[in-house]
Chains A and B, each alone.
Chain A
Amino acid sequence: MPAVVEIRELVRTYRTRRKAEETVALGGVTLTVDDSEVLGLLGPNGAGKTTLVKILSTVLLPTSGTARVLGKDLVSAPQTVRENVGVVFGGERGLYPRISARQNLAFWAALYRLDRRTAQNRCSELLERMGLADRADEPVETFSRGMKQRLHLARGLIHGPRILFLDEPTTGMDPVAARDFRALVRELRQEGRTVFLTTHDMAEAEALCDRVTLIDHGRLVLDEPTRHIGRYLDARECVDFTCDDPAVLAQVPELAFVESVEPRDGGHRALLREPADVARLLVWLIERGVLSARRSEPTLEDVYLRLIGTRAMSV
């Protein structure tokens, strides 16, 4: 099976108002996406994620480098690419607020050249699937943010694209909707579609994606199957604990077998090298009256914070 998306040395720069300087949004990205894969694209604000999605969905031209979607070049054959990709950009924009959800979808169905009957069926099916059937005939301006986001998803799926680009699709969704969204992405994958997902939600990426790609400052930092992600940490064992005694807490990082200690969700997480160290630390903590301690797995968030964390706020 050939790769669904093939990106080679992709560069995109933006010229800013003051012509002197150029912003490098993508600085030479090489990446391959396989068939029926859910790829998570992660990275801090301004990393170049949206720029990449825009290029792959033919909204934007690359400055240099090549990208092929289903074997077709994005620059020379955008038309073939367009018929096969669906794209959903985050945020509320891109809908016609005055007309109903169904009318919005019907409009895009016509633009994607679906015949009338197929269009009608597809609209109803998608509205049902997105949980919007009850409100389908109300104007979109009366929708909540999450409902608009779901309508965007329906719009992106209207022509049954082989590849779906989703740029922060769960922004504004409530937990139930976000859970349904995850189920939807899994279904789409089952149907043989490839999903390219941009998100800031590490738990979501970890739960959904077969592979995660991390970009930072327009460069690929990591590209790895999600289940192997822990490889990127030297210390792959963790112990989570809550300790109210500052004296005890101060001692933990000093222990020879502890790599580091980081605050985590109201408590702390100690990172360790060897599985045997886990038992040693647990015993050490219990002896000092710290009873809320348990072993845990390093998550994608740990990897992310390790690779990006030190300067996340300095865009």
Chain B
Amino acid sequence: MNSPSSLGTSSPGTGWLRLGHQSLLFSIAEMRTVHTWRTWLFGWVARLLTQVTFFALIGKFVANDATMQFVLVGNIVALSCLESMIVVLTMAGERRLGTLPLLAIAPTSHVPVYLGRGLHWLASGIASSVIGWLVLPPLLGVPLPWPEALPAVAMILLVAVSCYCYGCFLAGLAVRYRSLQVIVLNLGYLPIMAFCGVNVPISFWPAWLQPVLHLFPLTNGLQAIRAVLAGGTWSEVWPKLALEALVGIGWFALATVSINRVVTKGRADGSLEFGS
């Protein structure tokens, strides 16, 4: 054991890098307790893709091939959203594990730790979406136009990240108001699936609702992806992407505030407990 004064601390900069690295290792380790790459690919991803196919086929039967492709694209992109929002579960789990107060009193900010707790699901979500993007359209006989479909892959990444930020915000809510937990966990991503242009264009909804839908993640990014596939110009696409990024940043900022608030409030009223 070293003497009390010989604390081996590094500079703050490398500290954050180390923390990021450690969080990543942590995530991978945790992921590996849930999945091997085989169960991930043939169990998890295959299940998600089947679900996407199911929605796409409904599209085909109730309408036509064009509708099928619309639904297919929407659902493939939504996969990355669905998975990255599992961060709600991993973060809420932190309270159940009783690690919250310990994180709160560590000298490094707990915020990046929290926000990093679901990164493995973000990665998994992006991977599922990209696999779906490459495999499903040709398989279902509605191939995407290439090379237009290539930049869309990068846009899926953006959508996944902004959905993750939104997920972090919801997780912050779930941690803060325990009574809301069940609602947040189950209903958080429902509005996105229902209203944000996955299965029906948002123009289908009442006019007053449409501006609100642009505040949700995925809406703008998905529109950008659809525009690219339709051969839209860059000047048509980039504002949508910028909006998607902005929405993500906004939710992220709210998530940070919300999580900080959990800790400050917890220190004051004793709700920073070791269990729920």
* Partner-B contacts on A (CB < 8 A): 14-15, 54, 57-61, 78-79, 82-83, 87, 89, 91, 93-100, 103, 106-119, 122, 125, 129, 139, 155, 157, 159-162, 187-188, 191-193
Give the chain A neighbours of B274 by CB distance below 8 A: 89, 91, 93-94
- Given A94-B274, A161-B4, 6 more A-B residue pairs with CB atoms under 8 Å apart are A61-B267, A78-B105, A87-B105, A160-B1, A160-B2, A160-B4
Please give me the residue from chain A that is nearest to B31 by CB atom.
Answer: A98
- B-chain residues with CB within 8 Å of residue A191 when the two chains form the complex: 1, 3-4
Known contacts A94-B274, A107-B26; is-contact A79 B107 (Cβ 8 Å): yes
Considering the complex of A and B, which 8 residue pairs feature the smallest CB-CB distances, nearest first? A93-B98, A118-B8, A110-B22, A115-B10, A111-B106, A113-B15, A98-B33, A162-B4
> Which A residue's beta carbon lies closest to that of B15?
A113
A79 and B163 CA atoms in complex are apart in Å by: 33
By a beta-carbon cutoff of 8 Å, the part of chain B in contact with chain A is 1-4, 6-10, 12, 14-15, 18-19, 21-23, 25-26, 29-30, 33, 97-99, 101-108, 113, 267-270, 272, 274-275
Collect the chain A residues with CB atoms within 8 Å of residue B113's CB: 111
5 contacts between A and B (CB under 8 A): A94-B274, A98-B30, A99-B30, A110-B15, A122-B2
Q: How far is the CA of A82 from the CA of B104 in the complex (A)?
A: 10
A119 to chain B, nearest CB (A): 8
- Is the Cβ of B18 less than 8 Å from the Cβ of A115? yes
Establish whether residues B108 and A113, one from each chain, have CB atoms under 8 Å apart when the complex forms: yes
Contact B104 A112 (CB under 8 A): no
Most central of A110, A119, A187 by chain B CB within 10 Å? A110
Given A112-B107, A113-B12, are A93 and B275 also a contact pair (CB < 8 Å)?
Answer: yes
- Contact across chains for A113 and B33 when beta carbons are under 8 A apart: no
Query: Which residue, A15, A94, A103, A162, has most C-beta atoms of chain B within 10 A?
Result: A94
Evaluate contact between B99 and A94: CB separation under 8 angstroms. yes
Q: Which chain B residues border A116 with CB–CB below 8 Å? A: 18
Q: Which residues of A contact B4 (CB under 8 A)?
A: 160-162, 191-193
B25 proximity list for chain A (CB < 8 A): 103, 106
Cβ contacts under 8 Å, B30 to chain A: 96, 98-99
Question: A160 to B1, alpha carbons, bound, how many Å?
Answer: 8
A112 contacts B268, CB within 8 Å?
Answer: no
A60-B270, A113-B10, A118-B8 are contacts. A97–B97 as well, Cβ < 8 Å? yes
Residue among B1, B2, B107 making CB contact with A187, cutoff 8 Å: B1
Assuming the contacts A114-B10, A129-B1, asked whether A59 and B108 have C-beta atoms less than 8 A apart, the reply is: no
Closest to B108 in A: A111
Q: With A and B bound together, what is the CA distance between A91 and B99 in angstroms?
A: 12
Known contacts A94-B97, A103-B25, A118-B8: does B106 contact A112 (CB below 8 Å)?
yes
Q: Is the CB of A160 within 8 A of B18?
A: no
| Also in contact, A82 and B106, with CB within 8 A (given A115-B8, A160-B2) | yes
Query: What A residues does B19 contact at CB under 8 A?
Result: 110-111
Q: Nearest chain B CB to A212's CB is how many angstroms away?
A: 24
Q: Which residue on chain A has the smallest CB distance to residue B93?
A: A96
Contact A122 B107 (CB under 8 A): no
Q: How far is the CA of A191 from the CA of B30 in the complex (A)?
A: 36
Q: Which of B10, B107, B267, B268 contacts A82 (CB 8 A)?
A: B107
Known: A59-B267, A160-B4, A187-B1. A94 touches B105 (CB 8 A): no
Across the interface, do A113 and B9 meet the contact criterion of CB distance under 8 Å? Answer: yes
Which residues on B sit within 8 Å (CB–CB) of A161? 4
